[in-house]
Structure 1
Amino acid sequence: MHFSGERLRVARQRRKLTGKELAKKSGLTSVTVSKAENGHQVEEDTARALASALGFPFEFFWLEPPQVINAESVSFRSLSKMGAAERDAALAAGSLGVELYEWVEHRFNLPSPNLIDLNKERNRPDTAARLLRQHWGLGDRPIGNMLALLESNGVRVLSLSENTANVDAYSFWKADNPYIFLNQRKTPERSIFDSAHELGHLVMHHHAGAKNDKGAEYQADAFASAFLMPEADIKGQISGISTAAQVIRKKDRWRVSAMALAYRLHKLRLISDWVYRSICIDLGKQGYRSGEPVGVEREKSVVWEKVLIALWSERMTKADIANGLKIPLEELENFIFDLAGRSPSPFTGASLKLVV
């Protein structure tokens, strides 16, 4: 097996290092690092110096080339806020995340993707949201656990391995499987909305070319709002709203932020422009523009709970998983950060069996 320059690039990007910075850290020249990344023969001592500087196992660099995630295929939640290093680190995380799920799929029967192509409805995101709800048999009822719903329909969900406010979430398709990466350091309400936003990208923009323009972002936001807060249910549950306090009391039904509910009410013309502005000002004063002082419980992943429990029954730890993938344990921990738990879910019937 040859040293993989592609894996060196992934590891370097995960550490947000330039080639020059890696050269200095590893005690090598920039030319040596460049040649290594571009497929030239690498001596063992050089490979060990690079592995040590990057904090990756030596064996990682001798595996088959990784599945590279191209920026053009990814829907980033906040691309305009990202620097190149943050973008590349997120893309590198995507490559490792795909490998993690492939490792899991070799051992478990995961739900197959059950999404529909709604590219033709991308200019009518409310309609797209309604069609997907019909396809999944949801009717107009609130969604109890968005993460579990995604997983039960074959979406591969991982926690975003970035401690930054500039990378909210992103999604892509790889080998006919849909992936969503979520920043779990945001409020639970924000993560729920982000997951619905990325779902919108997956169904509306899979074959739509550019995914990161303002039009696509607006469409995904409108999809998320309609998917989480169906018009019929909103109108059946809410009338006569005029204050921020009323919005705060009602928001938990749909597990969204107070600002998101206020926006939806205004969009559906259930509150006037003046009332909407007044409510937003009041919510801002109470801290609801930057956070959620009265929030909901964070959702947990059904898939990762079951995977970890099943593996533990076989005496396999997270360290064993990381060792099998030849990645640092911290990378694995980041991928499942705040996802696995024992919270009950209405979607626990999803198929997930250990392959023997």
Structure 2
Amino acid sequence: MVTPSRIRLARERRALTLARLARMSGISQQALSGYENGLAEPTHESVRAIAHALGFPVAFLAADEIEEIPSEAVAFRARTKTSLRKQRAVRAQAALGVELNDWLTDHFTLPPPRVPTYGKPFPEAAAEMVRSLWELGDAAAPNLVHLLEAHGVRVFSLDTEHQDVDAFSFWRDSVPYVFLNTAKSGERGRFDAAHELGHLVMHGHERPSSGPEAEREANQFASAFLLPRADVVGRMPSGAQVDQLLEAKGIWRVSAMALTYRLHDLDLLTDWQYRAACRRLAELGYRSGEPDGIARETSQILPKVFALLRRGGRTPASVAAELSVPLTELNALVFGLSFVARPGAGGRQDPARSARPVLRVVPDHGTDAGS
């Protein structure tokens, strides 16, 4: 027996058309369509051929129904520039991320979600309300991935095959999810994380999460969240020069362009000063990157999870086997922790079954995460 939704999801995860899968598996396109729609049952030989072509274990195709992530639930940064095939591929990865989160919550006590959803506030007001709720004051935001995890957002990474997708987010069963592109600069990663938080807060349940207006609102939220008005106004002079921008951007760990935009938004740069600063920054290479950028922020929860599992004799390979996914799929979701299957390292002892370790996230200025 196979599960039709899992054949479709595995195919979409590989960004394959039915015609392409037919050529790879030696099974007709018509037959594959019948399997995906539950109109026919493949033979054992056909199942093995499909699994081999897709690079998924046979057990994955035979597991329980898997719920797809609907397109309208996902806030893609650039939906119009992302092909439908690629959108389906990353949504399929997101569905695997939800399954991983379900497995994690069965074995560990994760931080509960504490992300507010507001009706129709202005982005600036929404950012200030979240900062107040999370007791950030007017100071620079700490590590954004750690901050999101500490407040119950499940943060996963995107695979390297879809690095032109910046980031996306969605709610599922009252749990917020954010998927981040790990190939971007550290500053861009922080902005992406804040941008997706804006979508979760302002567009999560009641309002459309896509479209130019939603993207503008999420950008404005991210700018206000990372660069709080009172702190920026108190630190930055009116008409700041480019050398001052480059020196100050490290305070908030944002890109030079993001700081320049925020100063213009706060009327600390005139239109002419803003355009001149942008031109000069582009000449210095700051439009396409961050030459003196910060390190990329990654998860604090996920390394701790797998450290605890290893301590109890469990390996990432055994987790992948329980999820019936290739180890590479697990690796793609957890910020490239470079898992390697070690023969003989697996064990049946599960440190989480009896106690379900409680995982917490400590701030940047603290020590390592506790359990």
Per the shorter chain, which TM-score range?
Answer: over 0.9
Q: Is the 8 A contact 1:151 1:303 kept in 2?
A: yes
C-alpha distance in 2 between matches for 1:338 and 1:101: 17
Which residue of structure 2 lines up, in the alignment, with residue 302 of structure 1?
Answer: 300
C-alpha distance in 1 between matches for 2:78 and 2:55: 28
Residues 1:135 and 2:133 aligned together: yes
- Please list every run of 5 or more consecutive structure 2 residues that lacks an aligned counterpart in the other structure: 339-360
C-alpha distance in 1 between matches for 2:180 and 2:130: 21
Task: Map Cα deviations across residues 210-256 of structure 1 (whole Å, 9 max, x no partner).
Answer: 21111111000000000010000001111144322211111111111
> In structure 1, the residue corresponding to 2:162 is in which secondary structure?
coil
Q: Is the 8 A contact 1:171 1:178 kept in 2?
A: yes
Which residue of structure 1 lines up, in the alignment, with residue 219 of structure 2?
Answer: 221
Which residue of structure 2 lines up, in the alignment, with residue 281 of structure 1?
Answer: 279
Which residue of structure 2 lines up, in the alignment, with residue 77 of structure 1?
Answer: 77
Supply the AA of the counterpart residue of 1:346.
D
Q: Is the 8 A contact 2:111 2:149 kept in 1?
A: yes
Cα distance, 1:163–1:38 mapped onto 2, change above 3 Å: same
Which residue of structure 1 lines up, in the alignment, with residue 364 of structure 2?
Answer: 346
Which residue of structure 2 lines up, in the alignment, with residue 3 of structure 1?
Answer: 2
Which residue of structure 2 lines up, in the alignment, with residue 111 of structure 1?
Answer: 111
Aligned residues: 348
* Deviant stretches of 4+, over 6 Å: 347-352
Supply the AA of the counterpart residue of 2:167.
A
C-alpha distance in 1 between matches for 2:337 and 2:258: 23
- State the shift of 1:351 in Å: 8.8
Q: Is the 8 A contact 1:3 1:61 kept in 2?
A: yes
* TM score, norm. by length of structure 1: 0.94
Supply the AA of the counterpart residue of 1:210.
P
- State the shift of 1:280 in Å: 0.5
Which residue of structure 2 lines up, in the alignment, with residue 325 of structure 1?
Answer: 323
Q: Is the 8 A contact 1:111 1:351 kept in 2?
A: no
Residues 1:203 and 2:193 aligned together: no
Identity %: 43
Q: Is the 8 A contact 2:76 2:167 kept in 1?
A: yes
C-alpha distance in 1 between matches for 2:56 and 2:115: 36
Task: Map Cα deviations across residues 252-309 of structure 1 (whole Å, 9 max, x no partner).
Answer: 1111111000000000000111111111111101111011001112212111121111
C-alpha distance in 1 between matches for 2:66 and 2:49: 21
Residues 1:315 and 2:313 aligned together: yes
Supply the AA of the counterpart residue of 1:154.
G
Supply the AA of the counterpart residue of 1:69.
I
- State the shift of 1:337 in Å: 2.2
Mapping for residues 1-356 of structure 1, pairs under 5 Å: 2-39=1-38, 40-121=40-121, 124-338=122-336, 345-346=363-364, 353=371
Q: Is the 8 A contact 1:119 1:206 kept in 2?
A: no
Supply the AA of the counterpart residue of 1:110.
L
